[in-house]
Amino acid sequence: MTPTLNNDRALVLFSGGQDSTTCLAWALSNYSHVETIGFDYGQRHAIELTVRPDLLKNMRAFSPEWEARLGEDHMIDLSLISQLSKTAMTQDIAIEMQENGLPNTFVPGRNLMFMMVAATLAYRRGLNVLVGGMCETDFSGYPDCRDDTMKALQVTLNLGMATRLKLETPLMWIDKAQTWELAEQLGGTAMVDLIRTDTHTCYLGERGALNDWGHGCGTCPACELRARGYQQYKSRG
């Protein structure tokens, strides 16, 4: 059953990966107007930025309704992040755990800055919902992906800009298998196949051959989460 559309105007943080693409499908199913924002922050897996244009094109072509709802895409240069951070996401170094218990793929302040910039753009564009793929159920432990962080950030942004922005995180309490299931609920097996073939998640930026779960090295934390989730999703089906 098609849900009743909300007339709020949404801005989706869209990287070109599995989670943000699922969030975009969710937003297009729930809001009458949706725009997207992406960030070039000197990421090691910058290939995700190269898949975004075709992925957006395919999302527009998914249905006439989505074509009508999907508005402008915004690409923002945040290379400042790579100048401030020495992480496995911004430099060619081995992925490993740090003394603080977090993997060195954690980029301090990244999601906080993403949301702040997105809120600033939303203010100018007249958009009142920010949609992000943050999740604390099946993730690498990043503190800026947690629900408490997002709730506190929503309060801070609204206080600082005198707005009533809503921060929506539709993946917050579901695991990767359920993320695949959500994609199927939103767009059937065609959406699952689009995410499997057209999105990019691998931290090392490896595209390579197409695996049953998608492209990637298969061994980095992002690939392991994605592959394990896909296998669980298929076994449940």
Question: CATH number of the domain that 66 lies in?
Answer: 3.40.50.620
User: Does residue 232 sit within a domain?
Assistant: no
pLDDT of the residue at 1: 39
Question: Average pLDDT of the chain?
Answer: 90
Contact 65, 187 (CB under 8 A): no
Q: Which domain holds residue 138?
A: 6-176
Residue 49 has pLDDT above 90, yes or no: no
Q: Is 190 among the domain residues? A: no
Residue 210 lies in a domain: no
147 inside domain: yes
C-alpha 128/C-alpha 86 separation (Å) is 33
> Per the structure, how many domains does the chain have?
1
Q: Is the pLDDT of residue 31 over 80?
A: yes
- On whether residue 234 sits in a domain, the answer given is no
Contact criterion met (CB below 8 Å) for 208 and 201: no
Query: Which pTM does this prediction carry?
Result: 0.90
- Decide if 223 is inside a domain: no
Q: What is the mean pLDDT of residues 37-51?
A: 83
Find the DSSP H helices in the chain.
18-30, 47-60, 64-69, 80-84, 110-125, 147-161, 176-198, 221-236
Is 109 within the bounds of a domain? yes
Token readout for 132 is 């992000």
